[in-house]
Amino acid sequence: MFVDGRIFDFWTLIFMTGLMMIFMYLARKGMKVTIRPIPGFDAIEEAVGRAAEMGKPVHFTPGFGGLVAATFAGLEVLRHVTKLAAQYDVRLIVTVSQPETYAVTEQVMRQSYLEAGKPEAFRVEDCRFISSDQWAYASGVIGVLLREQVASNIMIGQFAAESLILAEAGNTVGAIQIAGTTNAYQIPFFVVACDYVILGEEMFAASAHFAQDELHLGSLRAEDIIKGVSIGLMIVGALLFTFGNEGLVNIMIK
């Protein structure tokens, strides 16, 4: 009945789902979960505040990816940025590369302005679909950064080879830059070119960080435990394999 080689994967997914459910339940029942400060998230208010002081817009992009987990994490940050922009009366320009992401992004912005009590502040032309072609998207974003002379550039989501081009364009206009992606090959580019970088899985803590609600915090605690179990498995597996025992490897490839 199982597809070959996916038995272990299936039980791992069941274990992860079960653990998340348990910790969400425990968090709801009052278990205390705290998150360490993430400088990139904490700097967002500074970035929007800077734009307010300079009278210039803030630019946000969730990257080149479609509707994948990294994009959703970016959009969770966008909710927070939009509310701050509404609060500080700062113009927020959002550029999007994929059409399906555009539809969700526009709704997120509209809803966030509404939640901030300023639905009239949302301008349809400030949520811009650029192009689903990678380099057309990159050149479109460069154009927006240069023409609008943004004070802050926030890039959180799924990025590929265009990451450094966008970050350097932001640096050219003197913008404070906050970036984050799960793409391990692009993180070094962001590290050298941006002021704050949200590293890989830190992005997925966005909803828990900003919302601080017990379900997200519980889910985050479960993720940490799963990471601990994964590290344990890697150490045990490496030791067993080093001493010629392939038992764990054989279980995992089933």
Query: Which residues between 100 and 139 bind other proteins (CB under 8 A)?
Result: 100, 102-104, 106-108, 110-112, 115, 124-125, 127-129, 132-136, 138-139
Task: Report DSSP state, residue 44.
Answer: H
Q: Does 178 bind other proteins (CB under 8 A)?
A: no
d(CA 205, CA 40): 12
**Total residues at the site for other proteins (CB under 8 A)?**
78
Q: Using the rule CB under 8 A, which residue among 44, 58, 75, 155 binds other proteins? A: 75
Span 45-64, contacts to other proteins by CB under 8 A: none
Taking the CA atoms of residue 106, residue 107, residue 108 and residue 113 in that order, the dihedral angle to the nearest 10 degrees is 90
CA dihedral 76, 79, 82, 84 (to 10 degrees): -90
Among residues 200, 240, 248, 252, which is the contact residue for other proteins, using CB under 8 A? Answer: 200
Residues in 135-164 at the binding interface with other proteins, rule: CB under 8 A: 135-136, 138-139, 143, 161, 164
The number of angstroms, rounded, from the C-alpha of 185 to the middle of its chain's C-alpha atoms is 16
Select from 30, 32, 36, 184 the one that contacts other proteins (CB under 8 A).
184
Q: Quick one: tokens of 49?
A: 């505040």
User: Cα–Cα distance between 178 and 45 in angstroms, integer?
Assistant: 11
- Interface with other proteins (CB under 8 A), residue from 50, 79, 91, 209: 79
